């Protein structure tokens, strides 16, 4: 497998990586993988949505020597001076920091714009000023908007449906300009409903997977927006980590100035997801009896169906997802059950 070769090359010749949003769900998983590969990592976070305990869990998962390769900076990417400071002596930027959530952006578009566009422009400009070539950043499947085509192909997008989607589409535009004008090696990753360990189940804007798992384990009501036939390409975190590292190391000159679907390439409805999580939990937890879900109105700004064509990522980046939804769900359920046991 190509990813195995990349990991061996990194261990032989370590790089200096910057991860923004490092205390978040995706950022902390990237940190863990890179430290286990003996890389040097600088991390930036302001804890707007990330958590210190995510970093503590990474510390417990790696060796003392590996942890010493990590430098953490608490700061906000909307402060250009901080961006300029953390991008010194870095080989690769993995820009994950953002205010996520479509509903959050509809509730407060100015705050979302400030973090996701001003913050992005600060970071990519600072990277340019400090001579960093490789800039990999998190985009989103939300850029497909009202496009009805399935599966989603990178070159065919529709009208965006939320301020959050506007910010991610703008990131892609800026990244392409920085590639064309300054020769930067920019790669955008259009994430499709990422899930897995360390994804926060709490808060008003929590993602559906951890929220449902947490609610079922706590015997709380589970709500489904709409009729439950809305479908998504649920993508396990290990696939996303692989795509980031493959993008950070690719030598394919045709890879840059573009965005790539980062997904499993499947599609599942919310109704079927509910059934799968319910079954997985009830088979692992004694006397757990999950009630039927409660249906409510569709959520504003949501797209109806989402399913990625991942051929471009495979052919150009060498991406090869290791986990299906079902395989990722098994690992996620096990992790959340263990977390609950440790908390109790």
Which of 51-55, 160-164, 192-196, 335-339 shows the lowest per-residue confidence on average (mean pLDDT)? Answer: 335-339
User: pLDDT for 95-124, tens place per residue?
Assistant: 999 998 888 999 999 999 999 999 999 999
Q: Does residue 95 form part of some domain?
A: yes
Cα gap 270→245, rounded to integer Å: 30
285: number of Cβ within 10 Å = 16
With CA atoms as reference, report the closest residue to 151 among 263, 293, 66.
Answer: 263
Q: Does residue 46 form part of some domain?
A: yes
Q: Does residue 171 form part of some domain?
A: yes
- Is residue 191 annotated as a catalytic residue, yes or no? no
CA distances from 266 to 122, 233, 235, 279 (A): 35, 5, 9, 20
Q: Does residue 220 form part of some domain?
A: no
Residue of higher predicted confidence among 343 and 19: 19
Cα gap 133→248, rounded to integer Å: 10
* 3-state SS assignment for residue 245: helix
User: pLDDT for 77-97, tens place per residue?
Assistant: 999 999 999 999 999 999 999
**pLDDT of the residue at 205:** 66
User: pLDDT for 191-248, tens place per residue?
Assistant: 999 999 999 888 766 789 999 999 999 889 999 999 999 999 999 999 999 999 999 9
Q: Does residue 269 form part of some domain?
A: no
CA distances from 167 to 50, 105, 129, 160, 283 (A): 20, 10, 23, 10, 41
Q: Does residue 134 form part of some domain?
A: yes
Q: Does residue 330 form part of some domain?
A: no
pTM equals 0.95
Q: Bridge-partner residues for 17, per DSSP?
A: 41, 92
Provide the pLDDT confidence category of residue 22 given band limits of 50, 70 and 90: very high
User: pLDDT for 192-203, tens place per residue?
Assistant: 999 999 998 887
Cα gap 111→261, rounded to integer Å: 26
132: number of Cβ within 10 Å = 21
Number of domains in the chain: 1
The tokens describing 330, both together, are 């098994």
Tell me, what CATH number does 246's domain have? 3.40.50.720
Query: Is the pLDDT reported for residue 309 higher than 90?
Result: yes
Choose, from 3, 53, 144, 164, the residue flagged as catalytic: 164
Q: Does residue 47 form part of some domain?
A: yes
Chain centre to alpha carbon of residue 41: 18
* Range of the structural domain that residue 155 is part of: 2-194+237-264+308-322
Cα gap 57→308, rounded to integer Å: 31
- What is the torsional sign of CA 302, 332, 281, 340? negative
Q: What is the mean pLDDT of residues 293-318?
A: 92
CA distances from 172 to 24, 139, 165, 186, 197 (A): 22, 7, 11, 9, 28
Q: What is the mean pLDDT of residues 147-161?
A: 94
């Amino acid at each position: 497998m190509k990813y195995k070769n990349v990991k061996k090359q990194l261990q032989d010749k370590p790089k200096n990586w910057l991860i923004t949003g490092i205390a978040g769900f995706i950022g902390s998983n990237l940190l863990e993988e890179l430290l286990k590969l003996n890389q040097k990592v600088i991390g930036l976070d302001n804890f707007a949505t990330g958590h210190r305990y995510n970093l503590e869990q990474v510390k417990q998962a790696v060796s003392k020597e590996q942890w010493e390769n990590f430098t953490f900076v608490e700061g906000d990417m909307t402060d250009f001076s901080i961006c300029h400071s953390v991008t010194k002596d870095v080989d690769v930027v993995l820009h994950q920091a953002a205010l996520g959530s479509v509903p959050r952006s509809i509730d407060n578009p100015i705050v979302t714009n400030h973090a996701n566009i001003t913050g992005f422009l600060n970071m990519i400009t600072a990277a340019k000023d400090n001579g960093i070539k490789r800039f990999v950043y998190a985009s989103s499947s939300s850029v497909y908007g009202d496009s009805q085509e399935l599966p989603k192909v990178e070159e065919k997008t529709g009208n965006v449906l939320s301020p959050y989607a506007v910010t991610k589409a703008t990131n892609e535009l800026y990244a392409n300009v920085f590639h064309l004008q300054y020769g930067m090696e920019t790669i955008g990753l259009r994430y499709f409903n990422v899930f897995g360990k360390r994804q926060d189940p709490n808060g008003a804007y929590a993602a559906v997977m951890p929220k449902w798992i947490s609610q079922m384990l706590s015997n709380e009501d589970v709500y489904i927006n709409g009729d439950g036939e809305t479908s998504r390409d649920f993508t396990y975190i290990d696939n996303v980590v692989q795509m980031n590292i493959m993008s950070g190391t690719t030598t394919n000159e045709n890879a840059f100035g573009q965005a790539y679907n980062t997904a499993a390439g499947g599609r599942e409805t919310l109704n079927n997801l509910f059934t799968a999580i319910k079954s997985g939990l009830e088979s692992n937890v004694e006397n757990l009896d999950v009630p039927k879900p409660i249906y409510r109105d569709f959520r504003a700004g949501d797209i109806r169906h989402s399913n990625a064509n991942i051929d471009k990522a495979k052919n150009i980046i060498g991406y090869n997802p290791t986990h299906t939804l079902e395989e990722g769900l098994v690992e996620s359920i096990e992790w959340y059950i263990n977390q609950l046991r440790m908390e109790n």
